Amino acid sequence: MGGWQANGIFLGQSGLPFTVTTSGTATNTGASASRANVVPGVPQYPAKKTVGLWFNPAAFSVPTPYNWGNSGRNILRGPDEINIDASAEKKVPITERVNVRFRFEMFNMFNHPQFQIPASVIAQGGVGAITATSNTARQLQGMLRLTF
């Protein structure tokens, strides 16, 4: 039963920052988007963040025409990223010079989705909702190698 080797890679990082914007330009400068206004007294995050509502869209509004929005750049953070990859390997000697090596690998071992930042353009549908992931589903692969 001996001769096994186990390996693992853990990745954990905080969510990426993002900016809440408006569609078009309220300042008539030709820019494709402007920052939104922060509504005072309204919390920017809901009591419990979900995929359907990551931040509170009611905390932001479209600026009045020809005015810059007062929200800062990258004031909100997207979801954290956590991923675990693992492998196990066993070397079995057959003779002095010949051996067999078996290896099994798991990528995204717990099949955990890595969510992207939510839709953050005020005055468009789905604001505050996360609609995409940035990784693939769990992948398993095995290897059998004869060395002589």
Tens place of pLDDT for every residue, the chain, 148 residues?
678 999 999 999 999 999 999 887 666 666 667 889 999 999 999 999 999 999 999 999 988 888 888 999 999 999 999 999 999 999 999 999 999 999 999 999 999 999 999 999 987 778 999 999 988 889 999 999 999 9
What tokens does 60 get? 């932001």
pTM of the model: 0.75
In this prediction, residue 59 carries a pLDDT of 94
Cα dihedral across residues 113, 117, 120, 124: positive or negative: negative
Asked if 59 and 70 touch (Cβ cutoff 8 Å), the reply is no
Phi, psi of 58 (to 5 degrees): -70, -15
Considering its fold, how many domains does the chain have in total?
1
Q: Which domain holds residue 53?
A: 4-147
Measured between alpha carbons, how far is 90 from 101 in angstroms, rounded to an integer? Answer: 6
Q: Which residues of 92-105 are buried (b: 16+ CB within 10 A; e: fewer)?
A: eeeeeeeeeeebeb
In this prediction, residue 43 carries a pLDDT of 94
In this prediction, residue 64 carries a pLDDT of 84
Measured between alpha carbons, how far is 68 from 75 in angstroms, rounded to an integer? Answer: 16
